[in-house]
Structure 1
Amino acid sequence: MTAVLSSAPGPLQLLPTPEYGNGWLKIDDGSTVISLPRNNDPYNEIYTVRGRWWSMCEDYLINPRPSKSPPREQREIDADWAGFSALIHGKIKDFHHAIKEKYHHNTYAFFGSDREFKAYGTVCWRTTFQSIRRPPLPRPEKDVFNAKPHFYGELGETRTALYPGMSAGQTVPNEVFRISEPDEEGDGTVPHRSGIAPKEHTGIKSMLRVSVGHEPAYKDSAMAREFTLRSIVQIAQAIKGTSLDYE
């Protein structure tokens, strides 16, 4: 997944833009909650943060390869990361800036939003540390934030944080974090806050909220199909009297 997406502008352009706001990525270690981004800059604060246990992109998976020469392998990994970072700060950021608040003056939109189809409004990494002998270990914010992966190869829903100053052989007090479940009503892919985002913009003629999943929206919702047909008719009627009008 990383090898494909890290070099594909299209999927990466679906990442949250600065308009999504601050605080949508959270790290909860049981005593402190860190919320990112803080300065409305997800490109530098999240997407291109390298080598942390919570990093979005793991550099060694961009172009996974066996190598008998570790120095050569590291040089290649560094080059791969440079390419990924340039993509984020180039085509991805530029595209986000280009479409900011851009809506056609004759726009109709429907979106799915229901508790049955939850999506990620925020993403939270929470500690799984539990012990009968002592409560979760208090950690200064900088430790949780700057911790490195305890070991490579964790590809599922958990990550083990190696705190600065701890050796890789120690398992305590390193902590395991698990990613949260989807937390916001939506369509199973897009959260409510994104679906309704166009509402306040000029040019939006009509919007409809329906209870339907993202992929089967037209298949499963007669209301969505009827709204779309009505929208097409309205758009076609608006062409009358313009240069696009056919006699």
Structure 2
Amino acid sequence: MKTGERGVTGMIIGDSAEKLMPVLAQSPGPLQLLPGRAYGPGWLKIEGSTTRLSLPVDDPYKEIYLNKTAWWRLCEQDLLLGDTEKAWSEFETRINEDVIKFIEKLSGKYHPQTWLFYGASVDNPSDAFLTWKERSVLRSPLPARGYHVPSSPTYRYDGDITFELLSSGSPGDGTVPVNAVRMHAARIRGILGTDVDHEGAYAADPVDRARSVYSDLSDALLFTVRPVVKIVQQVPAP
């Protein structure tokens, strides 16, 4: 939201806040992927010469997502589509009605037959937390209040104070960090931590494409087969 996406994804959905934020701010689906209360405190850190914070302290919705004044807020009001005040009001409604209810009602909920695997690899670094770190920079032709520098995720405010957004690079699957995984719940029947990336979790290349013969299936795929068999075995015979 604040810096745009990098790489090929950024070329498609927006490589700057000006391009990305107007779309995401009115899209309930992506907003419902925000960390909820269950994720815990302190995952957004601000480290400046005069400011050191770990947010949220208690409520990410009030402290970050619906924050209207602090520079580290999620949404820039003047980048929303349409009339500014009306657009902000619609954004608030979207967070309160579509996002908070969706995230919090799902928290801790599992189907009675639940098996899960997750990526737990340092080779697939993930954002367990993010840090806005103040950088000392010389004056440059950046706007006085800019949102994104394409070559580096930075945010400038109050003239010459510049913060760079740093990832924690925590173990995970490249998207979801290990510490976001709920390891214990009464309805979880089995769990596996493995070396798998988020998008390629179910990928398998056939050795013989003509006959669709597969070999060397990943631990994630083998783990998935086991609960499918167990679930089928519980189906009553006709």
> Which TM-score band (shorter chain)?
0.7 to 0.9
The number of equivalent residue pairs is 201
Please tell me whether residue 103 in structure 1 is matched to residue 110 in structure 2.
yes
Q: State whether structure 2 residue 196 is matched by structure 1 residue 206.
A: no
In structure 2, what is the Cα distance between the partners aligned to 1:228 and 1:236? 13
Matched, 1:63 2:86: no
Counterpart for residue 83 of structure 1: 90
Distance 1:7 1:203 in 2: 34
Give the deviation of 1:79 after TM superposition: 0.6
Structure 2 partner of 1:159: 155
Inter-partner Cα distance in structure 2 for 1:38 and 1:3: 27
Partner of 1:45: 63
Q: TM-score, structure 2 length as denominator?
A: 0.78
Aligned to 1:136: none
* Structure number with higher relative contact order (C-alpha < 8 Å, ≥ 6 residues apart): 1
1:215 corresponds to: 199
Q: Tell me if the contact between 1:30 and 1:126 (Cα under 8 Å) persists in the aligned partners.
A: no
| 8 Å contact kept, 2:146–2:157 | no
- Change beyond 3 A, Cα 1:103–1:21: same
| Structure index of larger Rg | 1
1:152 positional shift: 4.3
CA offset at residue 62 of structure 1?
2.3
Residue in structure 2 matched with residue 192 of structure 1 by the alignment: 178
Question: Residue 33 in 1 paired to residue 24 in 2?
Answer: no
Long gaps (5+) in structure 2: 1-19, 205-216
What is the one-letter code of the residue matched to 1:178?
E
Q: CA–CA distance in 2 between the matches of 1:112 and 1:18?
A: 22
Q: In angstroms, what is the RMSD of aligned CA positions?
A: 2.0
Q: Which whole-Å deviations, capped at 9, do the CAs of 1:15-62 have from their partners, x for residues lacking one?
A: 1010011111010004542011112x1111000112432221112222
Normalized per residue, the structure richer in helix is 1
- Aligned counterparts, 1:15-34, within 5 A: 15-30=34-49, 32-34=51-53
